[in-house]
Amino acid sequence: MMRYNAEKGGYSMDQTQDINQALEAAKKVTENFEGTRALPSYRRAEILQKVSEKIKENSEDFARLICEEVKKPLKEARREVSRAVFTFNWAAEEAKRFGGEVLPLDLDKPSIGRLALTRPFPRGPALLISPFNFPLNLVAHKVAPAMALGIPFVLKPAPQSPKTAQKLMEIIFKSDWPQGSAAALSCSNEAAERLVQSDLFAILSFTGSAQVGWRLKALSGKKHVVLELGGTAPLFIDQNADLAFAAQRAAWGAFYYSGQVCISVQRILVAAACYEPFKDFLLKEIAALKVGDPRDENTDIGPLIDQKSEQRVETWISEAVSQGARVLCGGKRRDGIFMPTLIENAPQNCKLSCEEVFGPVATLEQVSNSDEALKKMSEGAYGLQAGIFTNDLRLAHRAWDELPFGGVIINDIPAFRSDAMPYGGNRSSGIGREGVRYAMEEYSQLKTLVLNFR
């Protein structure tokens, strides 16, 4: 049976529970929309600030729970918790300053004496579906903007991380968010699809695979949909770049959390003039990464989330090698952990080049110049983030103008993200943007009031 926990302020349910129970829980949450939207901005800000402070107070517990649930190395789990503290704190600030504008309308004779005021209003209750790889901060990027606008929400966390989601929900309600105005439902995929189809929600925000995300959008009806769906994160190393720094960042960006990050460095393109020295730098940086138990304070790379993922990564590597690619390092498991793997000259049509590997694998290839690099970076279906190491300002501007990506990172890796910036992809990588203020824009819609003073 589904049970309502008054102390935790929400519903909890097992994956085996049926669709009707999920819909019942969602209905009870969404009925609170008129109450939450009436919260004044200062109260929303106070609540969000309390959430931020309580996460900080419980930061080590959160980090160890994340490590336990999703096998994230402890030092990376701590970094994630710190980011979540910032995300909720930033949302508290945005709750106080998110507003509209005044538009004088005396632009033609019939509009003289009229003034337009615009103001964003929340669209309605939100359904938020999050992945396993950032079970706290990616949840924060969905939950905090909703709270900043006064939107009740149902969160469907990843099946691997229900405890992290529930711990956050406890903190949210202890921080005075209205009781019953949110729930974390660990339900089956079938129940989740019914929630997506339900008219109870005005908003769907999903982070996960492209295949699932576009399917859910097709089922969502008239909801406003935000999808963050990953990509193949290309990185170009120009011949004038700081090669040692670029290699250090590329090694971390490709292999932190075993590559289970949607903007993990996957395709590394290097100018011919610096290819060999960069490759040497990169291999040394990869060799220095510590592989081991994620609970170890110093571990950089732990196990993948499950055996199915390990088998898929092995299959993709075998496919590339069978077509002429060369394994420069890794390519196998050691003590139950898939070693960081660098593949040279993977064919353009193999999965390692075309699809998101979501594992500790990066490809390395030589290009003749920046023109070829931009062309190759633009190929394929995805467009989340791309990176370029260069000292050529004209190349940086050209990349920003030409690359079909949601974000272009200069002199750092595509895996860079500030929690305040707009974040999201183009093409198969999704629609809409996250980043607190930008998610608030997605979750709201403008209304215009025209005043006639004549």
Domain of residue 103, CATH code? 3.40.605.10
Whether 410 and 442 map to the same domain: the answer is: no
Tell me the mean pLDDT in the region 29-44. 98
Tell me the mean pLDDT in the region 345-354. 96
Number of domains in the chain: 2
Whether 182 and 314 map to the same domain: the answer is: no
At 278, is the pLDDT very low, low, confident or very high (cuts 50, 70, 90)? very high
Tell me: pLDDT of 9 over 80. Answer: no
At 154, is the pLDDT very low, low, confident or very high (cuts 50, 70, 90)? very high
Whether 254 and 382 map to the same domain: the answer is: yes
Whether 186 and 112 map to the same domain: the answer is: yes
Question: Residue 188 carries which DSSP code?
Answer: -
Report, as residue numbers or ranges, the catalytic residues: 228, 262
Whether 204 and 259 map to the same domain: the answer is: no
How far CA 132 is from CA of 46, 69, 207, 248, 301, in Å, comes to 29, 9, 10, 26, 17
At 123, is the pLDDT very low, low, confident or very high (cuts 50, 70, 90)? very high
Tell me: pLDDT of 1 over 90. Answer: no
Whether 35 and 54 map to the same domain: the answer is: yes
Alpha carbon 424 to its chain centroid, in Å, reads 8
At 4 the pLDDT is 36
At 289 the pLDDT is 98
Whether 309 and 371 map to the same domain: the answer is: yes
User: 125, 33 in Cβ contact below 8 A?
Assistant: yes
Domain at 387, CATH number:
3.40.309.10
Question: Residue 272 carries which DSSP code?
Answer: G
Q: Could you give the strand order of the β-sheet that contains 444-452, starting from the edge strand earlier in sequence?
A: 101-104, 114-122, 444-452
Q: Cβ of 16: how many Cβ atoms within 10 Å?
A: 7
Whether 165 and 290 map to the same domain: the answer is: no
Summarised one tens digit per residue, pLDDT across range 292-315 is 999 999 999 999 999 999 999 999
According to DSSP, the residues that pair with 10 across neighbouring strands are: 5
At 17 the pLDDT is 54
At 5 the pLDDT is 45
Helices and strands, number each (H, E), in the chain:
16, 22
According to DSSP, the residues that pair with 101 across neighbouring strands are: 118
Tell me the mean pLDDT in the region 366-377. 98
At 331 the pLDDT is 95
Give me the amino acid identity at 418. Answer: S
At 6 the pLDDT is 38
- Averaged confidence pLDDT in the chain: 95
User: 260, 302 in Cβ contact below 8 A?
Assistant: no
CA 254 to CA 41: how far, in whole Å? 40
At 13 the pLDDT is 44
Closest CA to 94 of 62, 49, 157, 161: 49
Whether 202 and 287 map to the same domain: the answer is: no
Question: Residue 300 carries which DSSP code?
Answer: S
At 18, is the pLDDT very low, low, confident or very high (cuts 50, 70, 90)? low
CA 111 to CA 431: how far, in whole Å? 36
User: 340, 301 in Cβ contact below 8 A?
Assistant: yes
Summarised one tens digit per residue, pLDDT across range 380-401 is 999 999 999 999 999 999 999 9
377 is in which domain, residue-wise?
234-420
Indicate whether this model's pTM tops 0.85.
Answer: yes
Summarised one tens digit per residue, pLDDT across range 310-349 is 999 999 999 999 999 999 999 999 988 999 999 999 999 9
At 454 the pLDDT is 83
Whether 151 and 167 map to the same domain: the answer is: yes
Percent of the chain exceeding pLDDT 70 equals 96
Whether 239 and 224 map to the same domain: the answer is: no
CA 331 to CA 225: how far, in whole Å? 38
- Which tokens hold the place of 188? 């089956």
At 156, is the pLDDT very low, low, confident or very high (cuts 50, 70, 90)? very high
CA 96 to CA 99: how far, in whole Å? 8
Whether 183 and 305 map to the same domain: the answer is: no
Tell me the mean pLDDT in the region 284-295. 98
